[in-house]
Amino acid sequence: MAHAITVTVNGQKHQHEVEPRLLLVHYLREVLGLTGTHIGCDTSQCGACTVFYNSLAVKSCTMFAVQADGSEVLTVEGVASNGDLDPIQEGFWEEHGLQCGFCTPGMIMASYQLLKDNPDPSEAEIRRAIDGNLCRCTGYQHIVNAVASAARKRKG
C-alpha cells in the first residue's frame, strides 16, 4: 500500500506516492532522478549515500522515504549555489580529493556537516568527520587537504 509523502529536496517541494519499504536513497535516485547520491553498500558502511536530512548528515540507505515525509533533504546536487561550486566542491577539484569519484558525494556531504559545525577544523577533526565514509582509491590525504582548503576559503 503506497503512502503519500511531501519532501523538500534541494529547496524544491516534491509530492509522491511511495511504497513503505522504499529507501530514501532509492527515492532520490529513481523517483527524483538525483543520481549524485550513490549506493555503495546498502548496509550503512560506506557513506556514499550521505545526504543532509533536516540539517544533519545521514546515510540515506538507512532511512525509508516515508520517514522523510515533511522533511528537508539536501543532496550533493543542492550544495552548489546558482551554478557556482561550494568551496568544498572546489577543494575536491583543486586538491585532487577524488579519483574514481564514487565516494565523493558522501565525502562532500560529511565535510559539509563538519564545516557547518566547525568552520576551522584540525586535520584530526577532519579525519574523524569523514571516518564513516570509505574511499577505495585516494588514501584520504587529498580528501583531508580538500576539506582544509574549503575551510580556509570559507574563512576568506
Q: Where are the alpha helices (DSSP H) in 9-103?
A: 24-26, 87-94
Which residue, of 78, 97, 126, is where some domain finishes? 78
Confidence of residue 66 (pLDDT cuts 50, 70, 90): very high
Indicate the length of the chain as a whole number.
Answer: 156
Q: Provide the 8-state DSSP code for 74.
A: E
Q: Give the integer Cα–Cα distance in Å for 80 and 96.
A: 18
**Burial of 58 by CB count in 10 Å (0-12 exposed, 13-18 middle, 19+ buried)?**
buried
Query: Are 15 and 58 part of one and the same domain?
Result: yes
Query: Are 74 and 13 part of one and the same domain?
Result: yes
Query: Are 69 and 125 part of one and the same domain?
Result: no
What pLDDT does 60 receive? Answer: 97
Query: Are 25 and 91 part of one and the same domain?
Result: no
Q: Give the CATH number of the domain where residue 37 resides.
A: 3.10.20.30
What is the average per-residue pLDDT within 16-38?
98
Question: For a pLDDT cut of 90, what percent of the chain falls above it?
Answer: 89
Note the pTM of the prediction, 2 decimals: 0.93
Residue 111's domain spans which residues? Answer: 87-155
Query: Are 71 and 7 part of one and the same domain?
Result: yes
Quote the number of domains for the chain: 2
